Structure 1
Amino acid sequence: MLTLNLIRHAKTQQISPTGRDFERELLDKGISQANILGNYLQSHHISLGKIICSSAVRTQQTQSIICQHLTERCNFVLTKELYDASYNEMIRVIIAHGKNEQVITVVGHNDGISRLACYLSGELISLRTSEMVSFAIPFESWDYLSEGTAGIIFQYRPEVFLPHPVVS
């Protein structure tokens, strides 16, 4: 039995200072979301196993903040292949990095990460920012990932309510 965790990056700027989508950074809300998710994972003793993270700035920031809360050492790899990836491309990345791994966590982007969740589970799943879904995969090898074969273990999204500015 394998475990696959999918995490969509936390809330980000609409436009980066350079104008490049790849360089968008987390907003204060996103930083709070990632901190809450990290605390949740630690308090519930959820292992992330090997983390495969998109090399975009916002996904790296999300992964880094989450890992600050965990007592287990984060074993991660950054890859540009997850940026703007389809679910099929994500599956290829998981298989390529999954040798001898029982638990894999992918930190990525929509639309691909939600489409991967839908494809594997056979359910309609639309991951919002900083949302995580965890799947049980009934195989001994990642090579067998296929449509409708994953069962949802849990789904979690941190709720963040930032104070509104006082208007006088």
Structure 2
Amino acid sequence: MLTLNLIRHAKTNQVSPTGEDYDRALLDKGVSQANVLGNYIQTHHISLGKVICSSAVRTQQTRSIICQHLSEQCDFAFSRKLYLCSHSEILSVIEQVGKDEKTVTIVGHNEGISDLASHLSGEFVHLRTSEMISFTFPFDSWEYLIGGTGVITFQYRPAVFLPLPIS
């Protein structure tokens, strides 16, 4: 049996200092979201297995904050191929990087990550910032993943409300 966790990066700035989308960083709300998600993963004893993360700034920050909450070492790899890619490209990365793993976690971007969740579940899924969804599959190899074969085991998004600034 295989387990796949999909995490969309936390809430980000709309622009970066460089003007490049790739360099967008987390907002304070995003940092809070990632902290709450990391705590949720730890307290619910969720194994992330091999974490494969887009190399964009916002996904790296999300992964780093989440992994700070885990008692086990966070085994991870970065992949530029996960930056704003299609669901089929994510599947290809999973097959290559996670081939010897039974549990893989992807930290990525929309629309690809939501498209993958929809494809695997056979139903419409739209992941919002810092949302996580987990699937199990009755296979022993990632190359067998096809549409509609994933069973959703849980879906979670941290509710974070920051105080309004005082003027």
1:142 pairs with 2:142: yes
Q: Which amino acid aligns with 1:164?
A: L
Normalising by structure 2, what TM-score? Answer: 0.99
> Which residues in structure 2 correspond to 1:58-137 (within 5 Å)?
58-137=58-137
1:8 pairs with 2:8: yes
Match of 1:164 in 2: 164
Question: What CA deviation, in whole Å up to 9, does each residue of 1:17-54 have, x standing for no partner?
Answer: 11000000000000000000000000000010000000
Q: Could you tell me how far apart the structure 2 residues matched to 1:137 and 1:19 are?
A: 40
Note the residue ranges of structure 2 that are not aligned, 5 or more in a row. none
Percent identity between the two aligned chains: 66
Q: Could you tell me how far apart the structure 2 residues matched to 1:80 and 1:98 are?
A: 15
- CA-CA distance at 1:99 after TM superposition: 1.9
Q: Which amino acid aligns with 2:15?
A: I
Q: Which amino acid aligns with 2:74?
A: C
- CA-CA distance at 1:166 after TM superposition: 2.8
Note the residue ranges of structure 1 that are not aligned, 5 or more in a row. none
- CA-CA distance at 1:121 after TM superposition: 0.4
Q: Which amino acid aligns with 2:165?
A: P
Q: Could you tell me how far apart the structure 1 residues matched to 2:25 and 2:77 are?
A: 19
> Which residues in structure 2 correspond to 1:11-26 (within 5 Å)?
11-26=11-26
Query: 4+ residue runs of structure 1 moved beyond 3 angstroms?
Result: none
Question: What CA deviation, in whole Å up to 9, does each residue of 1:41-99 have, x standing for no partner?
Answer: 00000010000000000000000000000001000000100001100000000000122
Q: Could you tell me how far apart the structure 2 residues matched to 1:137 and 1:21 are?
A: 34
Q: Could you tell me how far apart the structure 2 residues matched to 1:13 and 1:138 are?
A: 39
> In the comparison of the two structures, how many residue pairs are matched?
167
Match of 1:44 in 2: 44
Match of 1:31 in 2: 31
